[in-house]
Structure 1
């Protein structure tokens, strides 16, 4: 079975080490090199395409030059940038490593929920500045705090599972899913009004842009925390900056809109805000988990067993 790699050369270098390439070559006839464009005739004999960050769009023109292509294995999360309607019209099977990428995002979220409950970052800064210790703080702790999960996505559900062993009340809002084990389903307004921490896991879709509105932000409890590892545009960032700037809320933002804020943006210097550089998703050695899942999917498909994590066209409107 002929297969090829299609992604940026930087992505290929980061995700696909020699052990991964060796494992792929054991189950498919892997073409040499990495495709970062589809000019010429590079897909003529390819049945399986292994894609990654930077893969060009597989539009009708690209598919016309790929008559044998039957499956796509994506070594990252979202396939929106390259899997087009033409792929679904052809009936091409698609899978991604979204399940693997969900792991570090959920781990990051759990850590930030627990650290924010202890006010660890603020207290460390105060301790460094004062060199004195408050042994009896009243505004810290995670015992019976209420955590709201916005969207029972793959990542959101994993966060809920990681939160279960802790003495926390867990709420979830997602109009597209039923009951979620370990969490109480509530409406959107109730989620924000009741939660000490709200963690955003909503994909950015036309209907979710600005979903976390000024009104919802204004309804949050004093000193509540908003954590966003989804997309910056899901949140009304101006309203959030006003709330944190006034000291009424705290925020932990792994994503912003734009992705890197202008140098003078007030969120940078706000002591109630922690901004991290989109590091929650797979980085460093965590990329090996993406590669391992991709190899497993290629192996299953080559053996005729189908994908363990298939993507469906009718679900594309609900995922990132």
Structure 2
């Protein structure tokens, strides 16, 4: 059925974002904008009866997987608008099997991750975290040592997807060399970003800061383990804002204990959260943050804005700008 082009639709948009995020992502302003065009209703995917009036479902953090049982209660569903990052946690095979289209606000979330990464690159090259932790441990001032500086540094990107490209664009503003490992990246695209493609060992071994932006799947699970960590140059930094499973944490603890000159900044871990007392919380050359790189606080509203804009395109019969398919999903973070 072709989306309504004019007039008010006789169907509804459902939303089933978790309570913690339902108002910060779908703000009053966004809700009003949607209701101006089409009815907006709450949908409980666990206990709701059949809703044959919902053709579009807005999902996000806190939405359970869209299994066959859930979809049975949404027989008219045509489109899922995911107002968060990756759709991997909610999109099941049943979604694709029933021909339901999927769009994600991952590109809006990527902006926050790229900004966080960009900031951490600068802080790492200034040796900020090590000096701060050393001062805390000493209970007083420490020598101003280990400051590499930004100009002339080499940054390594593992993954040149949406976030990796955003990071590369931010880094292009500085006198930096950027290396990248991504077996799916096109050489012309990398060249346009000012990025040099290389094999993983060369990227790891040549980078003052190595930052991870790859998807986590069978092929990338623990892609950074003992052999790879041993390639890291003296006084370099490992930064992970992607997925904890990319890094073998047992190997990382052993490596950081042995190589005190290397620092690790981990915004994602395996498992997430790490148990209390984990060695990474105690090491003087590691910093663990609680998965804050993505959209949080007021940044969450941009996810709802993107979903609302995508809904307008659907209503007008225009192509969606952020649609994903099953094949593309396998390559996303």
Q: TM-score range by the shorter chain?
A: over 0.9
Taking structure 1 as reference, are residues 36 and 191 closer, same or farther at Cα in structure 2, changes over 3 Å only? Answer: same
Which residue is 2:222 aligned to? Answer: 210
Q: Give the alignment partner of residue 239 of structure 1, picking from 251, 269, 273.
A: 251
Task: Assess if the C-alpha contact under 8 Å between 1:88 and 1:313 holds in 2.
Answer: yes
Task: Assess if the C-alpha contact under 8 Å between 1:36 and 1:54 holds in 2.
Answer: no
Per-residue deviation, 1:287? 0.3
Taking structure 1 as reference, are residues 302 and 248 closer, same or farther at Cα in structure 2, changes over 3 Å only? Answer: same
Which residue is 2:324 aligned to? Answer: 311
1:169 aligns with 2:182: no
Per-residue deviation, 1:294? 0.9
- Partners of 2:283 and 2:143 in 1: how far apart? 23
Q: TM-score, with normalisation over the residues of structure 1?
A: 0.93
Q: How does 1:121-132 map to 2 (within 5 A)?
A: 121-126=129-134, 129=138
- Partners of 2:228 and 2:194 in 1: how far apart? 24
1:13 aligns with 2:34: no
Task: Assess if the C-alpha contact under 8 Å between 1:77 and 1:98 holds in 2.
Answer: yes
Per-residue deviation, 1:222? 1.4
Q: Residues 11-64 of structure 1, C-alpha deviation per residue, up to 9 Å, x if partnerless?
A: 213322211110111122212x342425421x3111111111122322233333
Task: Assess if the C-alpha contact under 8 Å between 2:133 and 2:284 holds in 1.
Answer: no
Which residue is 1:40 aligned to? Answer: 49
Query: Secondary structure of 1:156's match?
Result: helix
Query: Secondary structure of 1:219's match?
Result: coil
Task: Assess if the C-alpha contact under 8 Å between 1:97 and 1:293 holds in 2.
Answer: yes
Taking structure 1 as reference, are residues 84 and 125 closer, same or farther at Cα in structure 2, changes over 3 Å only? Answer: closer
Task: Assess if the C-alpha contact under 8 Å between 1:50 and 1:74 holds in 2.
Answer: yes
Taking structure 1 as reference, are residues 249 and 27 closer, same or farther at Cα in structure 2, changes over 3 Å only? Answer: same
Task: Assess if the C-alpha contact under 8 Å between 1:28 and 1:302 holds in 2.
Answer: no
Which residue is 2:93 aligned to? Answer: 85
Q: How does 1:215-230 map to 2 (within 5 A)?
A: 215-230=227-242
Structure 1 runs (4+) greater than 3 angstroms displaced: 124-135
Taking structure 1 as reference, are residues 209 and 58 closer, same or farther at Cα in structure 2, changes over 3 Å only? Answer: same
Structure 2 unpaired stretches of 5+: 1-8
Q: TM-score, with normalisation over the residues of structure 2?
A: 0.90
- Partners of 1:106 and 1:9 in 2: how far apart? 27
Which residue is 2:6 aligned to? Answer: none
Taking structure 1 as reference, are residues 170 and 23 closer, same or farther at Cα in structure 2, changes over 3 Å only? Answer: same
Per-residue deviation, 1:127? 5.4
Per-residue deviation, 1:132? 5.3
RMSD across aligned positions (CA): 1.8
Q: Residues 182-202 of structure 1, C-alpha deviation per residue, up to 9 Å, x if partnerless?
A: 100000111111111110111
- Partners of 1:296 and 1:69 in 2: how far apart? 19
Task: Assess if the C-alpha contact under 8 Å between 1:7 and 1:36 holds in 2.
Answer: no
Answer with 212-221 or 4-13: which moved more: 4-13
Q: How does 1:153-302 map to 2 (within 5 A)?
A: 153-179=161-187, 180=190, 181-246=193-258, 247-302=260-315
Taking structure 1 as reference, are residues 133 and 66 closer, same or farther at Cα in structure 2, changes over 3 Å only? Answer: closer
